[in-house]
Chains A and B, each alone.
Chain A
Amino acid sequence: MGDHHHGPAKGLSRWLFTTNHKDIGTMYLWFSFAMFILGGAFAMIIRAELFQPGMQLVEPAFFNQMTTLHGLVMVFGAIMPSFVGLANWMIPMMIGAPDMALPRMNNWSFWILPPAFLLLASSLFMEGGAPAFGWTFYAPLSTTYAPPSVTYFIFSVHVLGLSSIMGSINIIATVMNMRAPGMTYMKMPLFVWTWLITAFLLVAVMPVLAGAVTMMLMDIHFGTSFFSAAGGGDPVLFQHIFWFFGHPEVYIIILPAFGVVSQIIPAFSRKPLFGYDSMVYATASIAFLSFIVWAHHMYTVGMPIAGELFFMYATMLIAVPTGVKVFNWITTMWRGALTFETPMLFSIGFLVLFTIGGFTGLMLSIAPADFQYHDSYFVVAHFHYVMVAGAVFSMTAAVYYWLPKWCGRMYNETMGKTHFWISFIGFNVTFFPQHFVGLAGMPRRIPDYALQFADFNMMSSIGAFIYGASQILFLYNVIATIVAGKPISDEKVWDGAEGLEWTVATPAPYHTFETPPKIDPTHAHS
């Protein structure tokens, strides 16, 4: 793109036809927040029903639709698109590129998402109701025993898989080919590294998910028996294929979050990231290991002991590179000059709570102990610690960190800190007690429970309402900032921040780095 006297187009067509990475990033971010609210609404219904023993609000069949849609919307609609949005906004600027490698495909990657989720959400109103077989949709509950809406569910999954694959191809092509001269791989910000690795994971495993749902489609409509014992198939085959996707998927969710935190902690410690090279290798090891641990989700299906042991050892091994990263972040803080603005608070919150989630993950990896944890609330607690206090906190930190650069206005710091503390408390009140009820024997995906689980469930529900409410505060702060926040024009919004994005004007111009920047060869990575 040469001449650029014109600004962005005006009106609706700007957004429909934009190929600008900043615009597309913005759309992804707003879409994902809307999905976060939708998925959160489903969660509120779940926690409202679980507030007390007995069925008060919904029927069990509808409750299962809520848990299913909550999982699908949060994973595929909220978390993943939010990090893709962040990637779109930040990667070109961080590597000194003018835009993504394939701007028009970028537009398509975003715009197929809203229809896909509209279709999924509309299944609530279809005959037989929405999918109610859990976000993990095991056969034959999801094939022979599925409601008619399962076909739309499959189509929806295909579309959002396509979106992810296209987005990832774009990211890889951009990072591999469009770095400014002098920006070697080992000079890239860690956020770019984690997204590069994540994108490879996505290209490898989203097609596997597509394969799994295609096989479902064939079993349901075309008389095949991949997952049906009657025709010589095996329901457990589904689980292997699903989790071969599913385990790398959870690392897809968390690696970009690691990248964000690796940018923010050094900024607010005013100290470079400790162990940059190790962090890159640790991320790559985690990605590699993520392919060979899938059956730790299947310890109770009746695998031969050799299989159980292999998957147990491989899963335990992932603790090593993950631990390395946690130690590196803390050492980054050590002997720094710390301040605790909102992005740093969320990052420290991430560090503590994700680590706790990592510990429960280690406990879960122990196969014999998992016979007591599997399919209980202990697992629910674990994955909410790593996905909410992990990925969502990191995403929130990212928004506070980069919002001033995006819109040229500063958010209200007191409101931000308030949001953090209410979120932190609300989150822990919601999910810490779930460890207890899980250990005490409460299974997951049940709408009603025995009396000994009542107290902690009530506590958990109260926490959920608090956590949910705090997101309204967040929304208010973001909108108020964009509309009427204190204008800021320093390129370097945060005095400890490093990276090419902090060398462009604030707010970032519509087109940046149309001429590649000079990379200082003596300066290390950011």
Chain B
Amino acid sequence: MFRVSANPVIDTVTKLVTVAIGMFAFVFVVMVPLYDVLCDALGINGKTSGQAYTAIQAGVDESREITIQFVATNNDGMPWEFRPSVTAMKVNPGASNDTVFLARNPLPKDMVAQAIPSVSPSRAAEYFHKTECFCFNNQPLEGGGSVEMPLQFIIDQDLPSDIRTITLSYTMFDITDMTNGAVAAR
């Protein structure tokens, strides 16, 4: 071990202070990114990727049928009407599927929302590839306006064989104040 100071007490103290500062930095620089990376890579908190998936050429597995359920909820204080156009669909892994979610802003003022996805079971999230999703961006909506929000997805063929039902849930949050009405990619 190298010495920082000739005085043994100062030496100990300096090293310990460094550890303390290091542990504080550890929280921001290691713990948070590590959590995000692990969740992203392993999908273990049920969040799907925030980026569009580039589909690769692969066959469709017709032998398996997966039931996809769609759930739409509003978070606290979010007054929009928000619902899936279909509540469930049966898909084959590898196939590209489309659906839309419907939203309406009943208030007289313009608003901006953000849909946050969550997949159940959470380990299915890394196999749930979205080639297009309204959750990639903010959703602005003028007062009284309605919109059809598209979702296009592929279930990976490598989805574990014991998963037969996947629920994709979106929670809609009001982020009008956070974005000042501007449209911004996430």
Direct contact of A and B (CB under 8 A): yes
Task: Check if A234 is an interface residue, CB within 8 A of chain B.
Answer: yes
Contact: B24 with A241, CB < 8 Å? no
Which one, B17, B122, B175, B178, contacts A302 given CB within 8 A? B122
- Residue of A whose beta carbon sits closest to that of B113: A230
Task: Check if B2 is an interface residue, CB within 8 A of chain A.
Answer: no
Contact: B27 with A231, CB < 8 Å? no
- Binary contact readout B155-184 vs A (1 if CB under 8 angstroms, 0 otherwise): 000000000000000010101001000000
Contact: A203 with B9, CB < 8 Å? no
- Binary contact readout A206-247 vs B (1 if CB under 8 angstroms, 0 otherwise): 111011101100000001001001111010110011001000
Contact: B21 with A244, CB < 8 Å? no
- Residue of A whose beta carbon sits closest to that of B27: A211
Q: Which of B47-61 contact A (CB under 8 A)?
A: 47, 50
Task: Check if B37 is an interface residue, CB within 8 A of chain A.
Answer: no
- Residue of B whose beta carbon sits closest to that of A236: B45
Task: Check if B16 is an interface residue, CB within 8 A of chain A.
Answer: yes
Measured CB to CB, the closest approach of chain A to B19, in angstroms, equals 6
Which one, B13, B24, B35, contacts A211 given CB within 8 A? B24
User: With A215-B27, A230-B178, A232-B186 as given contacts, are A203 and B20 in contact (CB-CB < 8 Å)?
Assistant: yes
Task: Check if A37 is an interface residue, CB within 8 A of chain B.
Answer: no
Contact: A176 with B12, CB < 8 Å? yes
Which one, A173, A178, A307, contacts B16 given CB within 8 A? A173
> Which B residues are CB-close (under 8 A) to A204?
19, 23
> Which A residues are CB-close (under 8 A) to B122?
302, 304
Q: Which of A118-177 contact B (CB under 8 A)?
A: 165, 168-169, 172-173, 176-177
Task: Check if A80 is an interface residue, CB within 8 A of chain B.
Answer: no
Measured CB to CB, the closest approach of chain B to A434, in angstroms, equals 33
Contact: B44 with A304, CB < 8 Å? yes
Task: Check if A101 is an interface residue, CB within 8 A of chain B.
Answer: yes
- Binary contact readout B127-154 vs A (1 if CB under 8 angstroms, 0 otherwise): 0000000000000000000000000000
- Residue of B whose beta carbon sits closest to that of A202: B20
Contact: A207 with B24, CB < 8 Å? yes
Which one, A102, A203, A229, contacts B19 given CB within 8 A? A203
- Residue of A whose beta carbon sits closest to that of B186: A232
Interface residue range, chain A: 35 or more
Q: Which of B1-48 contact A (CB under 8 A)?
A: 8-9, 12-13, 16-17, 19-24, 26-28, 31-32, 35, 39, 42, 44-47
- Residue of A whose beta carbon sits closest to that of B8: A177
User: With A101-B9, A203-B23, A210-B24 as given contacts, are A230 and B16 in contact (CB-CB < 8 Å)?
Assistant: no
> Which B residues are CB-close (under 8 A) to A279?
none
Contact: A304 with B123, CB < 8 Å? yes
Tell me, in angstroms, the Cα distance from A229 to B39 when the chains sit together. 14
Task: Check if B105 is an interface residue, CB within 8 A of chain A.
Answer: no
Tell me, in angstroms, the Cα distance from A357 to B77 when the chains sit together. 43
Measured CB to CB, the closest approach of chain B to A295, in angstroms, equals 12
Tell me, in angstroms, the Cα distance from A210 to B24 when the chains sit together. 7
Contact: B32 with A230, CB < 8 Å? no
> Which A residues are CB-close (under 8 A) to B50?
232
User: With A173-B12, A177-B9 as given contacts, are A205 and B23 in contact (CB-CB < 8 Å)?
Assistant: yes
- Residue of B whose beta carbon sits closest to that of A178: B9
Task: Check if B116 is an interface residue, CB within 8 A of chain A.
Answer: yes
Contact: B171 with A229, CB < 8 Å? yes
Which one, A169, A172, A212, contacts B27 given CB within 8 A? A212
Contact: B31 with A241, CB < 8 Å? yes
Tell me, in angstroms, the Cα distance from A236 to B118 when the chains sit together. 14
> Which A residues are CB-close (under 8 A) to B116?
229-230, 232
Task: Check if B75 is an interface residue, CB within 8 A of chain A.
Answer: yes
Which one, B24, B32, B42, B178, contacts A223 given CB within 8 A? B178
- Residue of A whose beta carbon sits closest to that of B31: A241
Contact: A230 with B20, CB < 8 Å? no
> Which A residues are CB-close (under 8 A) to B175?
230-231
Contact: A208 with B26, CB < 8 Å? yes
Contact: A230 with B75, CB < 8 Å? yes
User: With A177-B9, A230-B114, A304-B122 as given contacts, are A203 and B16 in contact (CB-CB < 8 Å)?
Assistant: yes
Measured CB to CB, the closest approach of chain A to B20, in angstroms, equals 5
Tell me, in angstroms, the Cα distance from A234 to B50 when the chains sit together. 14
> Which B residues are CB-close (under 8 A) to A223?
178
Tell me, in angstroms, the Cα distance from A230 to B44 when the chains sit together. 18
> Which B residues are CB-close (under 8 A) to A232?
50, 116, 186
Contact: B27 with A208, CB < 8 Å? yes
Which one, B16, B24, B46, contacts A172 given CB within 8 A? B16
6 shortest interchain CB distances as A-B pairs: A211-B27, A230-B173, A207-B23, A207-B24, A173-B12, A177-B8
Jot down 12 A-B pairs with beta carbons below 8 A, ordered by A.
Answer: A173-B16, A178-B9, A208-B31, A211-B24, A211-B31, A215-B28, A229-B116, A231-B178, A237-B32, A241-B27, A302-B46, A304-B123
- B residues whose Cβ falls under 8 Å from a Cβ of A: 8-9, 12-13, 16-17, 19-24, 26-28, 31-32, 35, 39, 42, 44-47, 50, 75, 114, 116, 122-123, 171, 173, 175, 178, 186
- A residues whose Cβ falls under 8 Å from a Cβ of B: 101-102, 165, 168-169, 172-173, 176-178, 203-208, 210-212, 214-215, 223, 226, 229-232, 234, 236-237, 240-241, 244, 302-304, 307
Q: A173-B13, A204-B19, A234-B39 are known; give 13 further A-B pairs, CB within 8 A.
A: A101-B13, A169-B20, A176-B12, A203-B23, A207-B22, A208-B24, A211-B27, A215-B28, A230-B114, A230-B116, A231-B114, A237-B35, A304-B123
